[in-house]
Each structure stands twice: as C-alpha cells, then as structure tokens.
C-alpha cells in the first residue's frame, strides 16, 4: 500500500557540499527492535520489499546506515542516527508545508512554487526531482 505522506529516503552527511558514503571503519548494523522499529516502519518505508520481510531483514535501513550513517558514526551511533532522521522528518513535514502554501494533490504547480514552499522550512534549496 502506498503511503499517504512523504517518506524518508535517507539522511546523508556531507562535508562542504560533498555527500559522504561508505566511511571507515565499517560499522556493524544492529537489527532494530521495539518502538524504533515501529517508527521506522511507519516513516521510512521499505517499499521494495514485503512488509514482513522488510521488518525482519531491514535491508534498506541497513544499506542506508552502512552507506551514509557510517560517515557520522563518531557523532551519532546507529540509534541516534535513526532517531535524528525521524526527528528531522517530523521537523520538516513537507505535506503540511505544501498545504500551508496551498499546494495540494490534484492540481498543477510550477517547480518553483514547490521548491519555494519547501525552502520556507529548510532554509536551503531543496533537492527535488520530478519523475
């Protein structure tokens, strides 16, 4: 079932505009449990996988943590990395932001109208792609 709101793709640390990935030392991914599992399953949906498999094997979250979370492990351990990601999603509630700017499903808007609305909360130019 497709989500009715924006979901998380990832949280990518960068250094002076360069996205960091696969940093050393390679961390060990620890399977997520309890409330964090429920929160991630609701907000960072692993759409490529059946839900039961995704919750059990956690392929997307493991991939994202090993690829990008590895680059901030000196500051954020795995639990803090995922907690921060969830907090940022709540802080930058894009669906609510677009509604505030009268951008709603079913109508047409310019790319600039959409990016300008998002920039009001992120304070930076969003990386928006159309498909």
Q: Which one-letter DSSP state was computed for residue 1?
A: -
Q: Which two tokens stand for residue 59?
A: 């392929």
- Report which secondary-structure segment, H or E, holds 23: none
With beta carbons less than 8 A apart as the criterion, state whether 88 and 13 touch: no
Q: Is 118 exposed, middle or buried (0-12, 13-18, 19+ CB in 10 A)?
A: buried
Would you please indicate which residues are annotated as catalytic (active-site) residues?
A: 9, 64, 68
Q: Cα Rg for the chain, rounded, in angstroms?
A: 16
């Amino acid at each position: 079932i497709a989500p009715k709101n924006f979901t998380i793709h990832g949280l990518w640390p960068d250094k002076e505009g360069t996205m960091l990935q696969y940093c050393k030392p390679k961390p060990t991914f620890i399977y997520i449990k309890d409330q964090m599992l429920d929160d991630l399953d609701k907000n960072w949906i692993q759409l490529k996988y059946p839900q039961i498999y995704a919750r059990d094997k956690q392929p997307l979250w493991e991939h994202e943590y090993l690829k990008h979370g590895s680059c901030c492990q000196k500051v954020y351990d795995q639990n803090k990395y995922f907690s921060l990601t969830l907090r940022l999603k709540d802080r930058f509630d894009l669906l609510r932001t677009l509604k505030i700017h009268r951008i709603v499903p079913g109508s047409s808007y310019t790319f600039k109208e959409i990016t300008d609305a998002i920039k009001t909360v992120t304070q930076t130019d969003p990386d928006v792609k159309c498909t």
